[in-house]
Amino acid sequence: METDSQNNGLKTLEAQLRENYGKIVYSHKTQEKCADILSKRNNSIKNSQIILSALITTGLLVRVFKGEEWALIVSTILSAIQFGFTSFLREYNLGETIQKHSTAALELLDIREKYLSLLTDLKAGLLSPEIIVEKRVELQEDLSKTYKGSPRTFSKAYKEAQKALQMNDELTFSDEEIDKFLPDVLRKK
């Protein structure tokens, strides 16, 4: 009877670990997608700033050397737009936010791999229930610290993470793919 109770306890632990693992997989991928989205946005803004600077300079040169009044008006308008971009970047410091999302993703990757190892050890019967619970508590503490230091994610990044994981199979590998990375003695085929 004790064996049935112990098996049920292990199944319950495994179910919770699997659920946590799944949540962490999504959190990790969402943090990565946030960094990617913000990086693209940051690059677009910076490229726009370069283009605006070139257009402003050209307009001012046309005004100075050709005396065209319209060039001064256009340069003034473009300068105001440039100021808006600069103010936005100063206020929202996208570079710092991108770095925080990237750091969170790396920390979550580490925790994800520890959960995977714990699940593997549990399935292989290598750990007692007490040790599994102890390691689970440690991982939950690590996860809590990571979440506290992470920037908030946004729905677009979650949708991209969902697509990457469910449709593009970004975290799944066939035996053939894995075999390509391994030496002959470790290959399945």
Q: What is the pTM of this model?
A: 0.81
Residue found by looking up tokens 């690059």 in the block: 43
CA distance 74 to 57: 11
Weakly modelled stretches of the chain, pLDDT under 70:
1-6, 186
CA distance 142 to 118: 14
DSSP class of residue 36 equals: H
Residue found by looking up tokens 């520890």 in the block: 114
Over residues 159-178, the pLDDT tens digits come to: 999 998 888 887 777 778 77
Contact 111, 143 (CB under 8 A): yes
User: What confidence score (pLDDT) does residue 188 get?
Assistant: 75
User: What confidence score (pLDDT) does residue 1 get?
Assistant: 47
User: What confidence score (pLDDT) does residue 176 get?
Assistant: 81
**Residue (of 153, 156, 71) closest to 108 by Cα position:** 153
Residue by residue, DSSP assigns 64-115 as HHH--HHHHHHHHHHHHHHHHHHHHHHHH-HHHHHHHHHHHHHHHHHHHHHH
User: What confidence score (pLDDT) does residue 103 get?
Assistant: 97
Over residues 127-145, the pLDDT tens digits come to: 999 999 999 999 999 999 9
Which is it for the CA torsion 147, 151, 155, 158, positive or negative? negative
